[in-house]
Amino acid sequence: MITRPRRTEAAAKPSGRVPVDLVATGLRVAYERDVEILRGVEITAAARRISLVIGPNGAGKSTFLKAVAGLAPVTGGLVTLGGVDITRWRPRDLLAHGVALVPQNGTLFPAMTVRENLQMGGWLRRREKAWLGESIEAVVNRFNLPRHLVDRRAGDLSGGQQKLVEIMRSMIMTPTTLLLDEPTAGLSPKMASQVYEQIAALPGDLGVTVLLVDQNVRSSLAISDDVYVLAMGLNNDRGTARDITERLGEITAGWLRQGVSGAVKS
Ligand SMILES: Nc1ncnc2c1ncn2[C@@H]1O[C@H](COP(=O)(O)OP(=O)(O)OP(=O)(O)O)[C@@H](O)[C@H]1O
Ligand SMILES: [Mg+2]
Protein backbone atom coordinates (compact mmCIF):
# COMPACT_ATOMS: atom_id res chain seq x y z
CA MET A 1 0.00 0.00 0.00
CA ILE A 2 1.21 3.48 -0.81
CA THR A 3 1.21 6.05 1.95
CA ARG A 4 1.34 9.75 1.31
CA PRO A 5 3.01 11.66 4.15
CA ARG A 6 3.32 15.42 3.89
CA ARG A 7 6.58 16.30 2.18
CA THR A 8 8.06 18.33 5.01
CA GLU A 9 7.23 15.64 7.54
CA ALA A 10 8.82 12.96 5.40
CA ALA A 11 11.88 15.08 4.71
CA ALA A 12 12.40 15.79 8.39
CA LYS A 13 12.16 12.12 9.22
CA PRO A 14 14.60 10.20 7.01
CA SER A 15 13.84 6.60 6.28
CA GLY A 16 16.06 5.34 9.10
CA ARG A 17 18.41 4.29 6.31
CA VAL A 18 16.82 0.90 5.85
CA PRO A 19 17.34 -0.13 2.23
CA VAL A 20 14.02 -0.31 0.43
CA ASP A 21 12.86 -0.84 -3.14
CA LEU A 22 12.47 2.17 -5.39
CA VAL A 23 9.60 1.53 -7.79
CA ALA A 24 8.55 3.59 -10.81
CA THR A 25 5.10 2.75 -12.13
CA GLY A 26 3.68 4.11 -15.39
CA LEU A 27 6.09 7.04 -15.22
CA ARG A 28 5.42 9.75 -17.79
CA VAL A 29 7.47 12.88 -18.48
CA ALA A 30 6.92 15.76 -20.90
CA TYR A 31 9.33 18.70 -21.00
CA GLU A 32 7.00 20.42 -23.44
CA ARG A 33 3.24 20.16 -23.79
CA ASP A 34 2.13 17.20 -25.91
CA VAL A 35 5.66 15.86 -26.38
CA GLU A 36 6.04 12.88 -24.11
CA ILE A 37 9.57 11.69 -23.51
CA LEU A 38 8.66 8.91 -21.05
CA ARG A 39 5.39 7.17 -21.85
CA GLY A 40 4.73 4.87 -18.94
CA VAL A 41 8.02 3.43 -17.71
CA GLU A 42 8.05 0.60 -15.17
CA ILE A 43 11.32 0.07 -13.30
CA THR A 44 12.05 -1.45 -9.91
CA ALA A 45 15.41 -0.82 -8.28
CA ALA A 46 15.39 -3.59 -5.69
CA ALA A 47 16.98 -2.91 -2.32
CA ARG A 48 20.72 -3.57 -2.11
CA ARG A 49 20.98 -4.52 -5.76
CA ILE A 50 22.40 -2.80 -8.81
CA SER A 51 19.73 -2.13 -11.42
CA LEU A 52 20.96 -1.05 -14.82
CA VAL A 53 19.06 0.96 -17.41
CA ILE A 54 20.36 0.77 -20.97
CA GLY A 55 19.01 1.80 -24.36
CA PRO A 56 19.84 3.81 -27.49
CA ASN A 57 20.62 7.53 -27.46
CA GLY A 58 17.54 9.58 -26.76
CA ALA A 59 15.61 6.64 -25.28
CA GLY A 60 14.89 8.63 -22.13
CA LYS A 61 17.40 7.07 -19.72
CA SER A 62 18.68 10.35 -18.26
CA THR A 63 15.15 11.70 -18.24
CA PHE A 64 14.09 8.70 -16.18
CA LEU A 65 16.78 9.34 -13.55
CA LYS A 66 15.99 13.06 -13.53
CA ALA A 67 12.29 12.33 -13.06
CA VAL A 68 13.02 10.08 -10.09
CA ALA A 69 15.38 12.75 -8.69
CA GLY A 70 12.79 15.53 -8.93
CA LEU A 71 14.48 17.27 -11.85
CA ALA A 72 12.15 16.51 -14.77
CA PRO A 73 8.45 17.32 -15.15
CA VAL A 74 6.48 14.19 -14.28
CA THR A 75 3.08 14.21 -15.99
CA GLY A 76 1.85 10.82 -14.80
CA GLY A 77 2.64 7.67 -12.87
CA LEU A 78 4.26 7.12 -9.51
CA VAL A 79 7.64 6.75 -7.89
CA THR A 80 7.67 5.07 -4.52
CA LEU A 81 10.44 4.35 -2.05
CA GLY A 82 9.58 1.60 0.38
CA GLY A 83 5.92 2.21 -0.39
CA VAL A 84 6.11 5.97 0.25
CA ASP A 85 5.03 8.11 -2.69
CA ILE A 86 8.02 10.31 -3.56
CA THR A 87 6.76 11.45 -6.97
CA ARG A 88 7.65 15.08 -7.69
CA TRP A 89 9.48 15.59 -4.42
CA ARG A 90 12.08 18.32 -4.48
CA PRO A 91 15.70 17.14 -4.80
CA ARG A 92 16.58 18.34 -1.28
CA ASP A 93 13.64 16.45 0.25
CA LEU A 94 14.67 13.35 -1.68
CA LEU A 95 18.23 13.71 -0.42
CA ALA A 96 17.03 14.05 3.15
CA HIS A 97 15.00 10.89 2.55
CA GLY A 98 18.02 8.95 1.26
CA VAL A 99 17.87 9.37 -2.53
CA ALA A 100 20.92 10.96 -4.19
CA LEU A 101 21.72 11.62 -7.86
CA VAL A 102 25.13 11.79 -9.51
CA PRO A 103 24.37 13.48 -12.85
CA GLN A 104 26.16 12.68 -16.10
CA ASN A 105 27.98 15.98 -16.53
CA GLY A 106 30.75 16.81 -14.10
CA THR A 107 29.29 18.82 -11.26
CA LEU A 108 32.34 19.45 -9.07
CA PHE A 109 33.45 23.01 -8.41
CA PRO A 110 36.89 22.87 -10.05
CA ALA A 111 38.38 25.85 -8.20
CA MET A 112 37.35 24.49 -4.81
CA THR A 113 39.30 21.81 -2.98
CA VAL A 114 38.13 18.22 -2.80
CA ARG A 115 37.29 18.76 0.88
CA GLU A 116 35.19 21.84 0.09
CA ASN A 117 33.37 19.90 -2.62
CA LEU A 118 32.68 17.08 -0.17
CA GLN A 119 31.37 19.62 2.35
CA MET A 120 28.81 20.68 -0.26
CA GLY A 121 27.47 17.12 -0.16
CA GLY A 122 26.54 17.72 3.49
CA TRP A 123 24.91 21.10 2.87
CA LEU A 124 21.64 20.05 4.49
CA ARG A 125 23.52 19.40 7.76
CA ARG A 126 26.22 22.04 7.30
CA ARG A 127 25.89 23.40 10.85
CA GLU A 128 26.82 20.03 12.34
CA LYS A 129 30.56 20.53 11.94
CA ALA A 130 31.69 17.46 13.88
CA TRP A 131 29.30 15.20 11.99
CA LEU A 132 30.38 16.69 8.65
CA GLY A 133 34.08 16.23 9.43
CA GLU A 134 33.53 12.59 10.42
CA SER A 135 31.39 11.91 7.40
CA ILE A 136 34.08 13.29 5.07
CA GLU A 137 36.73 11.18 6.83
CA ALA A 138 34.55 8.11 6.42
CA VAL A 139 34.07 8.53 2.66
CA VAL A 140 37.74 9.38 2.07
CA ASN A 141 38.68 6.13 3.83
CA ARG A 142 35.92 4.12 2.20
CA PHE A 143 36.91 5.18 -1.33
CA ASN A 144 40.66 4.98 -0.67
CA LEU A 145 41.22 8.51 -1.90
CA PRO A 146 44.91 9.34 -1.44
CA ARG A 147 45.15 11.78 1.50
CA HIS A 148 47.17 14.39 -0.35
CA LEU A 149 44.32 14.87 -2.82
CA VAL A 150 41.84 16.02 -0.19
CA ASP A 151 43.20 19.58 -0.10
CA ARG A 152 43.94 19.82 -3.79
CA ARG A 153 41.79 21.76 -6.24
CA ALA A 154 39.15 19.38 -7.60
CA GLY A 155 39.81 20.60 -11.14
CA ASP A 156 43.40 19.32 -10.90
CA LEU A 157 42.36 15.69 -10.31
CA SER A 158 42.21 13.12 -13.11
CA GLY A 159 38.83 12.43 -14.72
CA GLY A 160 38.44 9.16 -12.83
CA GLN A 161 39.39 10.75 -9.51
CA GLN A 162 36.91 13.57 -10.12
CA LYS A 163 34.12 11.08 -10.80
CA LEU A 164 34.99 9.20 -7.62
CA VAL A 165 34.86 12.48 -5.67
CA GLU A 166 31.41 13.16 -7.14
CA ILE A 167 30.23 9.75 -5.98
CA MET A 168 31.86 10.37 -2.59
CA ARG A 169 30.07 13.70 -2.33
CA SER A 170 26.75 11.97 -2.97
CA MET A 171 27.57 9.53 -0.14
CA ILE A 172 28.10 12.21 2.54
CA MET A 173 24.41 12.15 3.49
CA THR A 174 24.53 8.31 3.63
CA PRO A 175 21.87 7.73 0.97
CA THR A 176 20.08 4.41 0.73
CA THR A 177 19.50 4.86 -2.98
CA LEU A 178 22.06 6.18 -5.42
CA LEU A 179 21.12 7.23 -8.96
CA LEU A 180 24.13 7.25 -11.29
CA ASP A 181 24.03 8.63 -14.83
CA GLU A 182 26.88 7.42 -17.06
CA PRO A 183 29.51 7.42 -14.33
CA THR A 184 32.32 6.35 -16.64
CA ALA A 185 31.54 8.46 -19.72
CA GLY A 186 34.77 9.85 -21.12
CA LEU A 187 37.03 7.85 -18.80
CA SER A 188 39.88 5.60 -19.91
CA PRO A 189 39.19 1.87 -19.44
CA LYS A 190 41.56 1.80 -16.46
CA MET A 191 39.87 4.71 -14.70
CA ALA A 192 36.45 3.32 -15.59
CA SER A 193 37.27 0.00 -13.98
CA GLN A 194 38.23 1.78 -10.73
CA VAL A 195 34.90 3.58 -10.72
CA TYR A 196 32.98 0.35 -11.44
CA GLU A 197 34.85 -1.41 -8.65
CA GLN A 198 33.67 1.20 -6.16
CA ILE A 199 30.09 1.11 -7.45
CA ALA A 200 30.02 -2.69 -7.32
CA ALA A 201 30.95 -2.60 -3.62
CA LEU A 202 28.20 -0.16 -2.57
CA PRO A 203 25.32 -2.63 -2.04
CA GLY A 204 27.37 -5.15 -0.05
CA ASP A 205 29.52 -2.74 1.96
CA LEU A 206 27.13 0.14 2.60
CA GLY A 207 23.72 -1.40 1.87
CA VAL A 208 23.12 1.06 -0.96
CA THR A 209 20.57 0.42 -3.70
CA VAL A 210 22.06 1.49 -7.03
CA LEU A 211 20.14 2.61 -10.10
CA LEU A 212 22.66 2.94 -12.90
CA VAL A 213 22.24 4.37 -16.40
CA ASP A 214 25.12 3.43 -18.63
CA GLN A 215 26.16 3.27 -22.29
CA ASN A 216 29.27 1.37 -21.38
CA VAL A 217 27.02 -1.65 -21.68
CA ARG A 218 29.37 -4.61 -21.29
CA SER A 219 31.26 -3.20 -18.30
CA SER A 220 28.13 -2.08 -16.52
CA LEU A 221 26.41 -5.44 -17.10
CA ALA A 222 29.33 -7.09 -15.35
CA ILE A 223 28.52 -5.33 -12.05
CA SER A 224 24.70 -5.30 -12.34
CA ASP A 225 21.99 -7.60 -11.07
CA ASP A 226 18.83 -6.50 -12.90
CA VAL A 227 18.60 -4.83 -16.29
CA TYR A 228 15.95 -2.72 -18.00
CA VAL A 229 16.11 -1.77 -21.67
CA LEU A 230 14.34 1.43 -22.66
CA ALA A 231 13.53 2.57 -26.19
CA MET A 232 11.50 5.59 -27.25
CA GLY A 233 10.35 6.30 -23.74
CA LEU A 234 9.01 2.82 -23.10
CA ASN A 235 10.18 -0.44 -21.56
CA ASN A 236 11.58 -2.54 -24.34
CA ASP A 237 13.11 -5.50 -22.54
CA ARG A 238 14.19 -6.64 -19.09
CA GLY A 239 16.03 -9.48 -17.46
CA THR A 240 18.81 -10.48 -15.16
CA ALA A 241 22.27 -9.25 -16.10
CA ARG A 242 23.13 -12.77 -17.21
CA ASP A 243 20.04 -13.05 -19.41
CA ILE A 244 20.61 -9.66 -21.04
CA THR A 245 24.32 -10.35 -21.54
CA GLU A 246 23.47 -13.55 -23.42
CA ARG A 247 21.05 -11.68 -25.70
CA LEU A 248 23.05 -8.45 -25.97
CA GLY A 249 23.94 -8.78 -29.67
CA GLU A 250 20.30 -9.19 -30.61
CA ILE A 251 19.22 -6.33 -28.32
CA THR A 252 21.74 -3.75 -29.54
CA ALA A 253 21.17 -4.71 -33.20
CA GLY A 254 17.61 -3.52 -32.62
CA TRP A 255 18.95 -0.15 -31.46
CA LEU A 256 20.79 0.33 -34.74
CA ARG A 257 17.67 -0.53 -36.75
CA GLN A 258 15.63 1.98 -34.76
CA GLY A 259 18.23 4.71 -35.04
CA VAL A 260 18.16 7.42 -32.42
CA SER A 261 14.79 7.37 -30.75
CA GLY A 262 13.47 10.70 -29.73
CA ALA A 263 10.26 12.21 -28.49
CA VAL A 264 6.86 11.02 -29.59
CA LYS A 265 4.08 13.47 -30.29
CA SER A 266 0.91 12.50 -28.52
N1 LIG B 1 15.29 19.60 -20.91
C2 LIG B 1 14.79 19.06 -22.02
N3 LIG B 1 13.85 19.71 -22.77
C4 LIG B 1 13.33 19.16 -23.88
N5 LIG B 1 13.66 17.94 -24.35
C6 LIG B 1 14.58 17.24 -23.66
C7 LIG B 1 15.19 17.77 -22.46
N8 LIG B 1 16.06 16.83 -21.99
C9 LIG B 1 15.99 15.79 -22.83
N10 LIG B 1 15.12 16.04 -23.83
C11 LIG B 1 14.78 15.12 -24.93
O12 LIG B 1 14.31 13.91 -24.35
C13 LIG B 1 14.74 12.79 -25.12
C14 LIG B 1 15.41 11.80 -24.20
O15 LIG B 1 16.61 12.39 -23.71
P16 LIG B 1 17.49 11.69 -22.61
O17 LIG B 1 18.61 12.64 -22.31
O18 LIG B 1 16.64 11.26 -21.50
O19 LIG B 1 18.00 10.40 -23.39
P20 LIG B 1 19.09 9.33 -23.00
O21 LIG B 1 18.47 7.99 -23.17
O22 LIG B 1 19.69 9.66 -21.71
O23 LIG B 1 20.14 9.53 -24.20
P24 LIG B 1 21.75 9.43 -24.19
O25 LIG B 1 22.05 7.97 -24.31
O26 LIG B 1 22.14 10.17 -25.44
O27 LIG B 1 22.27 10.07 -22.93
C28 LIG B 1 15.60 13.33 -26.24
O29 LIG B 1 14.80 13.42 -27.40
C30 LIG B 1 15.99 14.70 -25.75
O31 LIG B 1 16.21 15.58 -26.82
MG1 LIG C 1 21.60 10.28 -21.09
- Binned at pLDDT 50, 70 and 90, residue 10 comes out as very low
Distances (CA, A) of 215 to 181, 244, 252: 9, 14, 11
Pocket of ligand 1 (CB under 6 A): 31, 37, 55, 57-63, 215, 262-263
With cut-offs at 50, 70 and 90, classify the pLDDT of residue 240: very high
Q: Which pLDDT score is estimated for 259?
A: 54
Ligand 1 closest atom vs CA 182: 27
Average pLDDT, the chain: 90
Q: What is the mean pLDDT of residues 75-90?
A: 97
Q: How far apart are CA 235 and CA 238, in angstroms?
A: 8
Ligand 2 centre and the CA of 158: distance in Å?
A: 22
Which residues is 22 bridged to in the sheet? 45, 81
Mean pLDDT of 13-32: 83
Which CATH code for domain 7-110+176-265?
A: 3.40.50.300
For residues 197-225, average pLDDT: 96
Q: Which pLDDT score, from 0 to 100, does residue 264 have?
A: 41
Ligand 2 centroid to residue 176 C-alpha, Å: 23
Report strand pairing: 209-213 vs 50-54: parallel
DSSP assignment of 197-246: HHHHHHHHHH--EEEEE-S-HHHHHHH-SEEEEEETTEEEEEEEHHHHHH
β-strands 177-181, 74-81 pairing: unpaired
Instruction: Read off the DSSP letter of residue 89.
Output: -
Amino acid (one-letter) located at 216: N
User: What distance in angstroms lies between residue 65's CA and the mean position of ligand 2's atoms?
Assistant: 9
Mean pLDDT for the stretch of residues 144-161: 94
The secondary structure of residue 135, as a DSSP letter, is H
**Substitution site in 61, 212, 256 for ligand 1 pocket (most atoms within 8 Å of beta carbon):** 61
Locate the domains of the chain by residue range: 7-110+176-265
Residue of minimum CA distance from atom 25 in ligand 1: 57
